Amino acid sequence: MRNVAYLMLTLFFVGMTFTSCKKDYTCTCVTEIDGLDPVTNVVSYDGVKKSEAEDACDILDGAANTTCTLEEQ
């Protein structure tokens, strides 16, 4: 019985090691230009790692007069 418990525990940890944490994220960007109403754009990233979504949202955040925030869906 003990061997079965160790085997199950080992399989659980091996499974967790090979499972990536891919989720859905939304990058919301607001662009403000003097004299005009702010423009909001929403970009969805489905089934990606958080670091990938952050990198993509940071690129959009680099545009002039634009502020972006990343949220998990």
Residue 41 covered by a domain? yes
Residue 42 covered by a domain? yes
Cα end-to-end span (Å), the chain: 42
Residue 54: predicted pLDDT: 97
Residue 16 covered by a domain? no
Q: How many domains does the chain have?
A: 1
The edge-to-edge listing of strands for the beta sheet with 23-31 is 39-48, 23-31, 66-72
Q: What is the pLDDT of residues 35-53, one digit of tens each?
A: 999 999 999 999 999 999 9
Q: What is the pTM of this model?
A: 0.71
Q: What is the pLDDT of residues 15-39, one digit of tens each?
A: 555 556 899 999 999 999 999 999 9
Question: Residue 68's domain spans which residues?
Answer: 21-72
